[in-house]
Chain A
Amino acid sequence: MTAVAPVSLRKDGADDRPFERVLIANRGEIAVRIIRACRELGIESVAVHSDADVHAAHVRMADVAVRLGPAPPAESYLRGDAIVAAARDTGADAIHPGYGFLAERAAFARAVEEAGIVFVGPSSATIAALGDKLAARRSATAAGVAVVPGTLEPAAVDRADAVDAIVEEATRIGFPLLVKAAAGGGGRGMRRVASALELPGALAAASAEASSTFGDATVYLELEILPARHIEVQLLGDREGTIVALGERDCSLQRRHQKLLEESPAPGLAADERRELHATAIRAARAAGLENAATAEFLFDADRRFWFLEVNTRLQVEHGVTELVADVDIVREQLFIAAGRPLSNRMRTAADRAAAPERHAIQIRLSAEDPARDFAPTPGRIGRWQMPAGPGIRVDTAMTAGDRIPPDYDPLIAKILVVDADRRSAIGRLGRALDETVVTGIQTTLPFHRAIVADPGFREGALSIDWVDEHWAELLRPARAVALDAASLAAADHLAGGSAKRGESASARPATPASVARSAWVQAGRIAARRRWPR
């Protein structure tokens, strides 16, 4: 038997684990998330890591850890050969890719399959069909799903003779448009183009970024639909061909196509709109023979029409939102599906209820980025680290006090999720959670999330993918100014050694008793909550 005591899932004591040992080909919070699922099932976990992550949480938590190489992703987490070798050496019978890195590389999935190891995700053929956004656009069109207007073939990059043709194509689609990476996701390898003049430069830049991030320089064109909401459907499929939709997520709050907040259900959808959306998503996935977890992404325009964007053939960063609403464990189900089991009854029941959800969940992505400096990355060392807790709160993170955030990887440092009976109470809970959150040492996106929660437009559910571009600049200044005022006073008080107490100052304010001795924390907290978060 293995070093970890296996959890017996059957009363007769037979080993019902889907796998004995799973290698997690990722880092950060998602590696931790997957290791947790493995532990709960009595599966041993194998971590892989770069030199920058020797002391990282996922390395500490796993049963076995294997070094891949130096910090740059191309020399570590993108080295499919080294990862397959690590799985062989450690006797792992499956590899979970998480999201990002190699999760949507068909070539990697194929190498895993050929090594006789189970790839936790769709087959390499499905990844090739759905993961290539261009191929996905073609197959969705063939299945009768309305796709965002644009090209269906790769755009020529850096070829002087092809410039005229691509400009003509772009003019036919209309400006502004987006140059997107065929292998892309999360806004990487994407550029907005307002006129034909910008097109060649944008093609080259997007292509270069796509090449360095995904190892595939292919890009294509797509019309920019604005205003629009980004709504996606969580799908799960098993080997028998059953595909279910577990509900949708509204991820409209984005900046440069990088999601900042996700919630489920999408606010303001009628039950029939929701049912139709779920059915369309299943149709798009079935066209490519989906197996395991995937997400179909749509734009929802001002005329309440859904436009298909793409299918992501992997676990999403925001999968936890659906887990909280549907009360399921998607990662655990992924492992069982990968081992050849049919979809569990729990998932089927959850799918049946997905059109009429009885809970509301919201996730914010806390990132090492400065919302006052155009969200520039802020790698560095974390000082204090206090995450929220209590009813209806879930925090997915790999960070803790004193940890260094390497500059080599994604700036996401924690996902803070809340769940409650409805959207209004979930927002109240999120405000409370953000009040409890403290990170020092680096600037994070916390102020941005606080501003969103307090924003009347967000509270009403008036969302659009250009909300951040439209509103953040005007919210930023006053919010930062009052914080700077308070910080200045606190710093002055700190220099004064905390001796400048009330009543000793020149100001002749009516003296109320200093509240330090009597539960000052609670008092201040209550006042703050009452005044700052509209009810």
Chain B
Amino acid sequence: MTGAARRFRLALAPGAEPADEPRDVELGSDGEIVARIDGETVVVRGRDGIDRTAIIGISRRMATGVVRAEVVVDGWRFELDVEDADRATLRRRATRAVDADPASGPAEIRAIISGRVAAVRVTAGDPVEAGQTLLVVEAMKMQNELRAARAGTVERVAVGEGDTIDTGDLLVVVR
């Protein structure tokens, strides 16, 4: 690959918050790798000229061929889905037809933290406003309110008060 820069498509793994648009990165022009310390640590010089140490944690290739890599920089931890940009474009074209409009259709609300359901504030059939509290989850001694991202009708409540939940568990479906 002499002479030609390689472009990569990167996106934060689904569920990441705050979300970020997928981006293309070109090695060598968007900043540079100035040192490789070992297989897991590289020093990146950003466009601001400051060197940052990036730690590669766990990385794995998923069924789609996309590599999901955990990278920690300045204490910020990211799970990044990375693939060759050309390949990403092809794959995107192939799957676009089945992409659903995210603003309609049922929204599955899943647990982003594990803990215990302290209170259930809605039942199936309830209309909900955006920002309305659906559940209260107690984790690490704090009560965290889970609110509806948009208005709709509660289709299903998958948990009950007192249930122990794990990250990723289905909690509520809002249509």
Which stretch (A124-132, A160-168, A283-291, A520-528) binds chain B? Answer: A520-528
Decide: A407 and B112 in contact? CB cutoff 8 A.
no
Chain B interface, number of residues (Cβ within 8 angstroms):
74
Q: Interface residues of B: mostly helix, strand, loop or mixed? A: strand
**Cβ contacts under 8 Å, B4 to chain A:** 506
The distance from the CB of B19 to the nearest CB of chain A, in whole angstroms, is 11
A4 within 8 A of B: no
CA distance A209 to B139 in the complex (A): 12
Decide: A440 and B82 in contact? CB cutoff 8 A.
no
CA distance A496 to B30 in the complex (A): 15
- CB < 8 Å neighbour of A499 from B1, B34, B80, B141: B1
A502 within 8 A of B: yes
Q: Closest residue of chain A to B142, judged by CB? A: A377
A153 within 8 A of B: no
**Cβ contacts under 8 Å, B55 to chain A:** 384, 438, 440
| Given known contacts A372-B18, A493-B27, A515 and B76 CB-to-CB distance under 8 angstroms | no
- CB < 8 Å neighbour of A408 from B28, B52, B69, B140: B140
Decide: B140 and A379 in contact? CB cutoff 8 A.
yes
Decide: B29 and A507 in contact? CB cutoff 8 A.
yes
Q: Closest residue of chain B to A258, judged by CB? A: B142
- CB < 8 Å neighbour of B113 from A378, A444, A528: A378
Decide: B30 and A516 in contact? CB cutoff 8 A.
no
Decide: A500 and B140 in contact? CB cutoff 8 A.
no
CA distance A525 to B53 in the complex (A): 8
B73 within 8 A of A: yes
| Given known contacts A495-B83, A506-B29, A482 and B140 CB-to-CB distance under 8 angstroms | no
Decide: A407 and B115 in contact? CB cutoff 8 A.
yes
Decide: B113 and A482 in contact? CB cutoff 8 A.
no
**Cβ contacts under 8 Å, A85 to chain B:** none
Q: Closest residue of chain A to B85, judged by CB? A: A492
Q: Closest residue of chain B to A445, judged by CB? A: B75
Decide: A488 and B76 in contact? CB cutoff 8 A.
no
Write out, one digit per residue, whether chain B residues 81-93 have a CB within 8 A of any chain A CB (1) or not (0): 0111000000000
A439 within 8 A of B: yes
Write out, one digit per residue, whether chain B residues 22-34 have a CB within 8 A of any chain A CB (1) or not (0): 0101111111111
**Cβ contacts under 8 Å, A507 to chain B:** 5, 28-29, 32
**Cβ contacts under 8 Å, A383 to chain B:** 57-58, 70
Decide: A384 and B57 in contact? CB cutoff 8 A.
yes
**Cβ contacts under 8 Å, B72 to chain A:** 438-440, 487
Decide: A504 and B46 in contact? CB cutoff 8 A.
no
CA distance A175 to B39 in the complex (A): 56
Segment 103-127 of B: residues with Cβ below 8 Å from A:
112-116, 118
A391 within 8 A of B: no
Q: Closest residue of chain B to A188, judged by CB? A: B141
B71 within 8 A of A: yes
Segment 458-509 of A: residues with Cβ below 8 Å from B:
479-480, 482-496, 498-502, 504-507, 509
**Cβ contacts under 8 Å, B99 to chain A:** none
Decide: B33 and A500 in contact? CB cutoff 8 A.
yes
A344 within 8 A of B: no
**Cβ contacts under 8 Å, B25 to chain A:** 488-489, 492
**Cβ contacts under 8 Å, A493 to chain B:** 27, 33, 42
Q: Closest residue of chain A to B12, judged by CB? A: A484
Contact surface of A with B, Cβ cutoff 8 Å: 72-73, 188, 205, 208-209, 212-213, 368, 372-373, 376-380, 383-384, 407-411, 434, 437-447, 449-450, 479-480, 482-496, 498-502, 504-507, 509, 514-516, 520-521, 523-525, 527-528, 531-532
Closest 7 CB pairs of A and B: A505-B28, A446-B75, A520-B35, A490-B54, A440-B57, A506-B5, A487-B71
Contact surface of B with A, Cβ cutoff 8 Å: 1-6, 8, 10, 12, 17-18, 20, 23, 25-37, 39-40, 42-44, 46-59, 67, 69-78, 80, 82-84, 112-116, 118, 138-144, 167
